Chains A and B, each alone.
Chain A
C-alpha cells in the first residue's frame, strides 16, 4: 500500500513544482525590492509626508533673512540673522537629524557675543499641515556646532558648544514669522537640552521660509503686509 502511494505523491509534487518555483521567485523579488527603497532611507521628494510635530527625519529646506529686536528701550538692540538648512546627500532617516547649512547672527551694537557664525549640523523639522499659497510653512530647530574650527560663538557664559535656533514660517510675507536663538553647553545634537534663555521672537523685518523637499514656491507678486519699523 505504501509503495503504491509514493509514486502518486511524487507525481503530484512534480506536477505543481513550476507553480511553487514561480511563487518562491516572486516572494524573493518582493522582499528584495522593499528593503532597497525603505532601508536605504531614500525619500520621494514629491511626498514630503507632512507631520504635526518637530522631527529629525523630516525632509525640508529652511531659509531666512531678517532682523529681530532684542531687549527693551532704552537698551534695545537690533540683530540681523541669515539662516540656511537642508538635509545632506544620502540622508538616512535614522533619527539623528543630520543637516547642512549655516547660521549667521549679528547684533548691531557693541555688546558681548554679538557674532554667531556656525555651520548647521542637525535639524528638526515640522511642515505645516496647511501650507501657504506658495507651499511653505512650518517650524524648525537648527543646531549649529560651536566646536568646529573657525566658528564664532559667544564666549560668555563659558563652555558654549552649540547654538539652537528655533524658527517658524507662518506666512509668505514674513509677518508673524519667528526667530529665536539660544546657546547650549552640551555638544551639538538634534535635541540639545542644556541651553540658556532664548533671545529673539517675532521677526521685525525679513522672511523665513520652510519648504518640503527641494521644491520652492512661486514668488509672491502682491505687496507684503505692513511691517514694523523702528
Chain B
C-alpha cells in the first residue's frame, strides 16, 4: 500500500517537474521574432502634375523601420517629407510621421502598412495628429493614403525598401 502511494506521488512530482522545466506556452522564443523586417530610406522625384492640397509636389524623401509579426500586427515608424510649391509660389515641405500598428507583405515585394500619422503641411498651420494612415512601400516607391486622401506615388529613384 505504501509503495503504491509512494509511486503515485513520485509520478506526480516527475510530471510537475517536466511541466515547470519546459516553456510554459511555447511562444516565449517566438515572441521576440517577427515574420518580416521592413527597412527603408530613400528619395524620389514626383512626375509632373503631382499635387496634394494645392501644393505642386516636386520630390520627397522617406524612411521607415517596421517589424511585422505573423499575426499581422506590427511595430514601427514611417516618415516621409514631400517638397513642393504652394499656390502662391512659396516652397513648402509636407511632413508625414506615421506610427505603424499592422502590416502585410504583398506578392509584388511591397508591403502595406497601417497605422496613424501626423500631417504637417509646412505652411504654418497647426499639424494634425491621429489621422488614419495606409502606406504601400516597395521597389516602385511609396504611396500614402491619409484618411480618405491618397497622395501621389513617390517613385523611388534612390535608396532602398527592403522586406526580409
Contact = CB atoms under 8 A, between A and B. Distances in A.
Interface of A: 18, 21-22, 25-26, 29-30, 32-33, 36-37, 42-45, 59, 61-67, 78, 80-84, 86-91, 100-106, 108, 115, 117, 174, 205-209, 211, 213-214, 216, 219-224, 226-227, 229-230
9 contacts: A33-B20, A66-B77, A89-B29, A106-B61, A206-B97, A208-B77, A216-B74, A219-B101, A223-B126
Interface in B67-119: 67, 69, 73-79, 81, 93, 95, 97, 99, 101, 115-116, 118
B42 A106 contact: yes
A59 B120 contact: no
Interface string B54-73: 00000001111111010001
Chain A contact residues: helix, strand, loop or mixed: mixed
A65 B64 contact: yes
Measured as residues with beta carbon below 8 angstroms from the partner, the interface class of chain B is 35 or more
Nearest to B95: A205
A45 to B, nearest CB: 4
A206 to B, nearest CB: 4
B37 A25 contact: no
Given A61-B67, A63-B76, A100 B37 contact: yes
Contacts of B77: 63-66, 174, 206-209
B97 A36 contact: no
Interface of B: 2, 6, 9-10, 13-14, 16-17, 20-23, 28-34, 37-43, 61-67, 69, 73-79, 81, 93, 95, 97, 99, 101, 115-116, 118, 120, 122, 126-130, 158-160, 162, 164
B159 A64 contact: no
B103 to A, nearest CB: 12
A117 B79 CA distance: 18
A53 to B, nearest CB: 21
B66 A63 contact: yes
Nearest to A83: B65
Given A45-B31, A61-B67, A206-B63, A86 B17 contact: no
Contacts of A88: 33
